[in-house]
């Protein structure tokens, strides 16, 4: 699997939770180094510059990510929030977030990995307590565990993204349909 960050979930907290891919099968970890974690913060647009991180930043980010995923799953399934996950998320959200600065060239967000993580945690709190909760769906690809915001007409979207999962499923279904008639005639 490639290490490109994918932002198809419609919310930064959901994209953050999706950095552990294929949770039910292969479990592919995106946050393997402090540099990969910082790259995610930069690529998602949360910060413009970020100070170098360390292994502890990765450990904390993974813990918050897993808490976010658990709480999103609880909310999506209509279950009570897991208390330990709540404590982890709220603890991270209490810390100092990214603070935007106005410069001669415009807005600039410079942060530490801890500030970036606090900002993600706050975004997760907003999501889980806001109006988009009923729009959260899990991808229809059985190998994918991304949760996304479905803003499609009639809420009929089935996949986290066409490029990442939709095309794979549609192509597999097409191949299966093409194969079926030849197998039936044999």
2 within domain boundaries: no
Give the chain's domain count.
Answer: 1
Q: What is the pLDDT of residues 16-59, one digit of tens each?
A: 999 998 888 878 899 999 999 999 999 999 999 999 999 999 99
Residue 102 burial by Cβ neighbours in a 10 Å radius (0-12, 13-18, 19+): exposed
- pLDDT (0 to 100) of residue 14: 97
Spatial separation of the C-alpha atoms in residues 154 and 148, rounded to whole Å: 15
Q: Among 40, 35, 38, which Cα is nearest to 4's?
A: 40
The pLDDT assigned to 32 comes to 95
State pLDDT tens for residues 98-151: 999 999 999 999 999 999 999 999 999 999 999 999 999 999 888 888 999 999
pTM for the model stands at: 0.86
Task: Report the CATH number that the domain containing residue 48 is assigned in CATH.
Answer: 1.10.3300.10
The pLDDT assigned to 1 comes to 43
Residue 179 is part of which domain span? Answer: 12-185
Report the alpha-carbon angle 81-87-91, nearest 5. 135
Give a yes or no: residue 123 inside a domain: yes
Give the phi and the psi of residue 61 in degrees, each rounded to 5: -65, -40
Is 1 within a domain?
no
Report the run of H or E that residue 58 belongs to, with start and end: helix 55-76
Residue 4 maps to a domain: no
Q: Is residue 3 part of a domain?
A: no
The long-range contacts involving 180-186, CB below 8 angstroms and separated by at least 24 positions, are: none
Query: Is 68 within the bounds of a domain?
Result: yes
The three-class DSSP label of residue 107 is: strand
């Amino acid at each position: 699997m490639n290490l490109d960050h994918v932002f198809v979930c419609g919310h930064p907290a959901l994209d953050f939770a999706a950095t552990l891919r294929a949770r039910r099968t292969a479990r592919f970890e995106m946050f393997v180094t402090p540099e990969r974690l910082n790259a995610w913060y930069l690529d998602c647009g949360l910060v413009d510059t970020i100070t170098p991180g360390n292994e502890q930043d990765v450990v904390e980010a993974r813990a918050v990510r897993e808490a976010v995923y658990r709480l999103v799953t609880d909310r999506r399934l209509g279950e009570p929030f897991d208390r330990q996950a709540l404590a982890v998320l709220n603890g991270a959200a209490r810390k100092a977030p990214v603070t935007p600065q106005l410069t001669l060239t415009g807005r600039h967000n410079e942060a530490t990995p801890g500030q970036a993580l606090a900002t993600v945690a706050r975004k997760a709190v907003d999501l889980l307590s806001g109006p988009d909760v009923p729009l959260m769906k899990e991808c229809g690809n059985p190998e994918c565990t991304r949760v996304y915001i479905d803003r499609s007409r009639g809420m009929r979207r089935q996949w986290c993204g066409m490029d990442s999962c939709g095309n794979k499923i549609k192509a597999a279904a097409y191949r299966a349909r093409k194969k079926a008639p030849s197998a039936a005639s044999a």
